[in-house]
Amino acid sequence: MAVTIAVLSQKGGTGKTTMVRTLTDVFRRVGLRTLAVDLDPQGNLSDYLDVDSQANPTVGDVLAGRATAADAIHGDVIPANLGLAETELVLGGKMGRELTLRRALREVEDGYDLVLIDCPPALGLLTVNALVAADYALLSAEAQYFALQGVQQALEVIETARENVNPDLEWLGVVLNIADMRTRHSREAYDALREHVGEQLFEQTIRASIAYAESAERARSILDHRPDLGTDYVQLADELLARLGLDGARGRLAPLLA
């Protein structure tokens, strides 16, 4: 069965979706069968991964019971669109609503090594569904003053999911994103997180750059558009794979680092 990772943040603008997109790319390049699930009504991950905007069915149809997860896979992506926001409202009135995504993904997990779920930038029902479906939670935090507060709020949601619905959920850690470690502000944000979460903070940070927006606009991976920046994600993938115990895949990262 696939290892399922929910990637979340307490708010938007933390580079979370770019992180899911690029890690998906890295993992696929080293031979890991990776399914990307877009659980954000904005559908940015679907756009980034070049899924047709008219693709149907979507994750909203899966959650509403109108389609299976297998039917909603388009090029190893289960896409989302604005209709997902309405689906979330409908989902709120259903019995066992927190288990909906978990049940849906069971039928496709055997076909993948990894499932990455891009959660919406809010700690609501969709994010809870992701945490219940996941084996691990990964946090993205922007390198700014309120990063620690956002991480703490996300950790509370993770703990609630663990205590009530998914006792096997593990926290992989937090990634400091959109960071410029040359500045005192970013270094202080990193140090504050390190003091609070210890080794759960990933050593690798993700540098801030307009190049990420450029690569998305051109539908080109940052690994090809700006390989120097892409190295941040390859190093992050190495740390992630180490924490997951996937040493064989780690060994295949060397060409990307070169």
Q: To which residue do tokens 């700690």 refer?
A: 123
Query: Which amino acid type is present at position 160?
Result: T
pLDDT (mean) for 122-141:
93
CA distance 196 to 190: 10
Closest residue by Cα to residue 2 from 29, 33, 25 = 33
Give pLDDT tens digits for 7-59: 998 777 788 999 999 999 999 999 999 999 999 999 999 999 999 989 999 99
Give pLDDT tens digits for 220-247: 899 999 999 999 999 999 999 999 999 9
Closest residue by Cα to residue 155 from 144, 168, 176, 169 = 169
Question: Looking at the predicted structure, is the pLDDT value of residue 124 above 90?
Answer: no
Identify the architecture of domain 3-245 in CATH. Answer: 3-Layer(aba) Sandwich (3.40)
CA distance 212 to 223: 10
pLDDT of residue 12: 78
DSSP 187-233: HHHHHHHHHHHGGGB-S---B--THHHHHHHTT--HHHH-HHHHHHH
Per-residue pLDDT band at 6 (split at 50, 70, 90): very high
Give pLDDT tens digits for 56-87: 999 999 999 999 999 999 999 999 999 999 88
pLDDT of residue 223: 93
> Are 145 and 14 a contacting pair, CB within 8 Å?
no
Query: What residue spans define the domains of the chain?
Result: 3-245
Question: Looking at the predicted structure, is the pLDDT value of residue 189 above 90?
Answer: no
Closest residue by Cα to residue 80 from 63, 64, 60 = 60
Query: Which amino acid type is present at position 38?
Result: D
CA distance 213 to 219: 10
* pLDDT, the chain, mean: 92
CA distance 11 to 140: 10
Number of other residues whose CB lies within 10 A of the CB of residue 106? 12
User: Count of residues for the chain?
Assistant: 258
Q: To which residue do tokens 């892409």 refer?
A: 230
Residues linked to residue 174 through DSSP beta bridges, in sequence order: 139, 201
Per-residue pLDDT band at 95 (split at 50, 70, 90): low
Helices (H), the chain: 16-29, 44-48, 59-64, 83-91, 100-105, 125-133, 147-164, 184-197, 211-217, 222-225, 227-244, 247-251, 254-257
Residues linked to residue 142 through DSSP beta bridges, in sequence order: 177
pLDDT (mean) for 98-123:
94
Q: List the structure tokens of 181.
A: 């470690």
